[in-house]
C-alpha cells in the first residue's frame, strides 16, 4: 500500500527533506526516505551548522584537509559540505533520471553574506554548480532585491536555482519574472530549456509566528485571526503561480520549447506553535506542481496522519478576505514580510559565522593534538 508521501506525489506534490548531514547519508537514512517517496533534499547554513557543530562526524574530513595543506576555514567548510551535497545528489540521481529532470534535486545555498551582492552571488552560484558537476543540484539564491537579477543570470546560463526566503506575493512576482526572463535568455542563446529547473521557496510558518505576535499585542477580536495568515499567503501565491504559468499565456511559447514551470516550494513547514496541528503547513497546501520541504518531525507526522487531497486551490477568496481583515486590524503585511526577509538573512549569516568559528576551533584542536 502507498504511504501518504507517495499519495501526495500521485497528486502532483513532491515531498523533499529539509535536512542533510553526513550521518543522514552514511546511516542509510536518506536512502530510506527516498525509498519512502521523498524526491529531494534542501539544506541551508543553519542545517549544516547543527550537523557540523553538533557532532564529530566531520572531524576526519577536517583532519584530511589539514593533512593536505588546507588551512583556510572557508575552504575547509566546502570540503565538509560539498561532499554531502554530491553524495545526496547521487542518491537522488535515479529519481532525477526516472522523472527526466523534473525531480530529484539537492539544494545548496550560496554564502549568505552575499545576499546583497548580485555579482558575488552569480560568481559563487556558477562556481559551486560547476564544482559539483551534477545536473540535479540546485543553487539557493535569496529573494533579496540584489538576488533577483542573479536568478535571471544563473537561469539564463542553465544553472538550476532554488530561490529562497520568499515571504511576500510581491517578491514572488519578481522571482517568477526573473525566472521567465532567464529562460528567455537561455532559449535565445540556443540552449535546451528543458534541462534547467527552478523552485520558488515560499516560507510559511514564520509568517504566522510574527503575525500572531502582532495580533496578540492588539488583543481583543484581533486574536481570532491568529494562525491563518501563512496558509492564506501561500494559497494566494499558488493562485498567482497558476496564472503566470498558464500554458495558454505568455509562458506557452517557452513551454513549447521544453521549459518547466517554476514550482512553488513550501518551506519552513514545521509548526512553531505547539497548540497548532503539526501538519498545519502541509494538509492545506497540497496540489500539482508544488513541493513541500519538510524537516524530519513534520515528515514523520505527515507519514503518520497527514491527509492526501488537492487542497491548495481552494479558499482563495477567503484568503483575500483574511488579508483585508488583517489590514483592518492594523497588521501591515508588507512591513511584516520585509522584516522576515531581513531576519531570515540575518539568521543564516549568524549560523554561517557560528559554523565557521566551530570549524576553526576544531581545526586548531586537531592541529594541536597532532
**Catalytic annotation, residues:** 140
Distance from the Cα of residue 333 to its chain's centroid: 22
DSSP helix/strand/coil, 362:
helix
CA nearest to 85, candidates 142, 121, 47, 120 = 47
- β-bridge mates for residue 138, sequence order: 107
* pLDDT attached to residue 2: 86
Question: Rounded to the nearest 5°, which phi and psi values hold at 336?
Answer: -60, -50
Angle at 340 between CA 295 and CA 153, to 5 degrees: 85
Question: Rounded to the nearest 5°, which phi and psi values hold at 318?
Answer: -65, -35
DSSP-assigned letters across all residues of 214-230:
HHHHH-GGGGGGTT-HH
DSSP-assigned letters across all residues of 130-156:
HHH--TTEEEEEE-STTHHHHHHHHHH
- β-bridge mates for residue 199, sequence order: 162, 263
C-alpha cell at 289: 506542481
Cβ atoms of residues 270 and 295 within 8 Å: yes
pLDDT in tens, 181-225: 999 999 999 999 999 999 999 999 999 999 999 999 999 999 999
Output the CA–CA distances (angstroms, integers) from residue 155 to 130, 252, 316, in the order listed: 14, 18, 30
DSSP helix/strand/coil, 296:
helix
C-alpha cell at 356: 565557521
pLDDT beneath 70: ranges in the chain:
1, 370
* pLDDT attached to residue 370: 64
Contacts of 118 (CB under 8 A, 6+ apart): 146, 147, 149, 150
Delineate the domains of the chain, giving CATH numbers in brackets.
4-365 (3.20.20.70)
Q: pTM value? A: 0.96
* pLDDT attached to residue 85: 98
Element at 357 (helix H, strand E): helix 333-369
Eight-state DSSP code of residue 268: S
Helices 333-369/45-53 angle, 10° precision:
30
C-alpha cell at 15: 515531498
Q: Quick count: other Cβ atoms within 10 Å of Cβ 59?
A: 14
Output the CA–CA distances (angstroms, integers) from residue 93 to 21, 101, 129, 232, 242, in the order listed: 18, 9, 15, 34, 28
pLDDT in tens, 310-348: 999 989 999 999 999 999 999 999 999 999 999 999 999
Cβ atoms of residues 49 and 355 within 8 Å: yes
Output the CA–CA distances (angstroms, integers) from residue 365 to 63, 132, 311, 355, 370, in the order listed: 10, 29, 52, 15, 9
C-alpha cell at 59: 572531524
C-alpha cell at 50: 547543527
Rounded to whole angstroms, the Cα distance separating 156 from 179 reads: 8
Rounded to whole angstroms, the Cα distance separating 323 from 310 reads: 23
C-alpha cell at 12: 502532483
Taking the CA atoms of residue 153, residue 140, residue 147 and residue 343 in that order, the dihedral angle to the nearest 10 degrees is: 180
Amino acid at each position: 500500500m502507498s504511504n501518504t508521501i507517495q499519495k501526495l506525489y500521485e497528486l502532483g506534490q513532491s515531498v523533499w527533506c529539509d535536512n542533510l548531514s553526513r550521518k543522514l547519508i552514511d546511516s542509510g537514512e536518506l536512502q530510506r526516505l527516498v525509498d519512502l517517496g521523498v524526491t529531494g533534499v534542501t539544506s541551508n547554513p543553519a542545517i549544516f551548522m547543527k550537523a557540523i557543530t553538533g557532532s564529530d562526524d566531520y572531524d576526519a574530513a577536517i583532519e584530511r584537509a589539514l593533512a593536505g595543506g588546507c588551512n583556510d576555514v572557508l575552504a575547509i567548510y566546502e570540503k565538509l559540505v560539498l561532499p554531502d551535497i554530491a553524495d545526496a545528489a547521487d542518491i537522488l540521481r535515479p529519481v532525477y533520471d526516472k522523472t527526466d529532470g523534473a525531480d530529484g534535486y539537492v539544494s545548496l545555498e550560496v554564502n549568505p553574506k552575499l545576499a546583497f551582492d548580485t555579482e558575488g552571488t552569480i560568481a559563487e552560484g556558477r562556481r559551486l554548480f560547476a564544482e559539483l558537476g551534477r545536473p540535479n543540484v540546485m543553487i539557493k539564491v535569496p529573494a533579496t532585491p540584489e538576488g533577483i537579477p542573479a536568478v535571471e543570470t544563473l537561469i539564463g546560463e542553465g544553472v538550476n536555482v532554488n530561490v529562497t526566503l520568499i515571504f511576500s506575493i510581491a517578491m514572488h512576482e519578481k522571482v517568477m519574472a526573473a525566472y521567465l526572463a532567464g529562460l528567455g535568455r537561455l532559449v535565445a542563446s540556443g540552449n535546451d530549456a528543458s534541462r534547467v529547473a527552478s523552485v520558488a521557496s515560499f516560507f510559511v510558518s514564520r509568517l504566522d509566528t510574527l503575525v500572531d505576535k502582532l495580533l496578540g499585542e492588539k488583543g481583543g477580536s484581533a486574536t481570532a485571526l491568529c494562525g491563518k495568515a501563512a496558509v492564506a499567503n501561500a494559497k494566494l501565491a499558488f493562485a498567482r503561480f497558476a496564472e503566470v504559468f498558464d500554458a495558454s499565456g505568455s509562458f506557452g511559447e517557452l513551454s513549447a520549447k521544453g521549459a518547466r514551470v517554476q514550482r512553488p516550494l513550501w518551506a519552513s513547514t514545521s509548526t512553531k506553535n505547539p497548540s497548532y496541528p503539526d501538519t498545519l503547513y502541509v494538509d492545506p497546501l497540497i496540489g500539482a506542481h508544488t513541493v513541500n520541504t519538510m524537516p524530519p518531525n513534520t515528515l514523520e507526522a505527515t507519514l503518520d496522519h497527514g491527509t492526501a487531497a488537492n487542497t491548495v486551490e481552494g479558499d482563495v477568496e477567503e484568503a483575500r478576505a483574511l488579508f483585508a481583515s488583517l489590514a483592518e486590524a492594523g497588521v501591515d503585511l508588507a512591513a511584516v514580510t520585509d522584516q522576515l526577509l531581513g531576519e531570515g538573512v540575518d539568521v543564516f549569516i549568524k549560523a554561517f559565522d557560528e559554523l565557521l568559528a566551530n570549524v576553526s576551533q576544531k581545526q586548531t584542536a586537531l592541529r594541536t593534538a597532532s
